[in-house]
Amino acid sequence: MEIEIIQGNIADVEADVIVNAANRTLLGGGGVDGVIHAAAGPGLLDECLELRKSTYVSGLPTGQVAVTKAYKLKAKHIFHTVGPIRGKDDLSLLKDCYVNCLKKAVELGAESIAFPAISTGAYKVPVEYSAKIVREILKDFSPNMRVILVLYRYADKSIYDEVFSR
């Protein structure tokens, strides 16, 4: 497995799968979710509206994955996953987000997947905690896949670099 840690905008990354740190509604929002929806174009919102009507009537459960087309992004699929909210949810659900996305990527035959730091923005999960979770999951993940960890802020990338260098 190849792991890259980069600073940038996840909507600009070229990968088979782009992971969206979504909210339960699947209808866009702030942060990564808003950036991905804006970059993908209106087709994404239409598909997410259909998913809400058919499969996720009560919203996407925390830790689960919904798959859509990528529309205008440089990807084949967008995986939407809802991370835990610090102080409200069990933070161990963060592992489910990453593990379920990786399993779905293998199932779909993806060769590359790009992750943001799920739940570290508005949901207030500490970046170092996130980095440790991701490192733990990836060290036990064996399929040959390129994993790109995309951090928007330089400070967050520095934390990930430090955690992954240990």
* Active site amino acids: 33
Residue 30, judged by CB atoms within 10 A of its CB (0-12, 13-18, 19+), counts as: exposed
Are 157 and 151 spatial neighbours (Cβ–Cβ below 8 Å)? yes
**DSSP at 55:** T
**CA 116/CA 20 separation, integer angstroms:** 7
Q: What's the sign of the alpha-carbon dihedral 151, 75, 101, 36?
A: positive
CA 99 from centroid of its chain's CA atoms:
11
For residue 158, what are the contacts with CB-CB under 8 A and spacing of at least 6?
A: none
Token couple for 39: 């970059």
Rg (CA), the chain: 14
